[in-house]
Amino acid sequence: MDVKHLLFIILGAVFVNNYVLQRFLGICPFLGVSKKLDQASGMSIAVVFVMLLATAVTWPIQHFLLDPNGMGYLQTIVFILVIAALVQLVEIVLKRYIPALYKSLGIYLPLITTNCAVLGVTVLNITEKYSFGESMANSFGSGLGFFLAMVLFAGIRARTENCEAPESFKGLPITLTAAAILAASFSGFAGVVETLFGA
């Protein structure tokens, strides 16, 4: 588990298996909060933070609690429970000790509680049979991928809002079309990272 391997996982999660644009998880905030760049980046930073925390908690639960007792089928419900409680706890701690960070992340934290990208990354870490270090790298990369997709799409939306779209394309249709083109262009990264690392 050298640095090169971790870098491979991170870059793979950002570009090749981008959670929003290739796995189609977390589409709700992708369309909902991407109207303004500052909101999009605030939300994404909160997602990176929660993804890392959630992985740090759910990986030990899976490997030391669920698997030894043959309760792997409880994975989804336990993960949802733990992530929801964790986000609440983080919110309380932030409000008390780092009010400035709470103000910038605060409104997005409850939204992330039920974000399927967060649940998705924790579950996929288990199914991919990653070690703890690899899981953390994958979570960080996935969060960065979410950040990248949000920031790119916020920029695209700023342009589509101002353009003269045909009447029937105004609003959501042009947004979804733009998202589809962005997702299609990201599939061009498939194979690039593998070739880069000779894996």
Which span sits near other proteins by CB under 8 A: 15-23, 31-39, 87-95, 138-146?
87-95
Euclidean distance between CA atoms 152 and 173, whole angstroms: 18
Euclidean distance between CA atoms 182 and 178, whole angstroms: 6
98 part of the interface to other proteins, by CB under 8 A: no
Residues that bind other proteins (rule: CB under 8 A) add up to a total of 20
Interface positions, 115-154, toward other proteins (CB under 8 A):
none
Q: By C-beta, is 85 or 180 nearer to other proteins?
A: 85
> Out of 1, 28, 32, 71, which residue is the one contacting other proteins (CB under 8 A)?
71
Which span sits near other proteins by CB under 8 A: 24-32, 94-102, 118-126, 152-160?
94-102
Q: By C-beta, is 66 or 121 nearer to other proteins?
A: 66
C-beta of 73: minimal distance to other proteins in Å?
A: 8
Task: Show the binding pattern over residues 1-40: x = contacts other proteins (CB under 8 A), - = does not.
Answer: ----------------------------------------
Chain residues binding other proteins by CB under 8 A are 61, 65, 69-71, 74, 77-78, 81-82, 85, 88-89, 92-93, 95-97, 99, 162
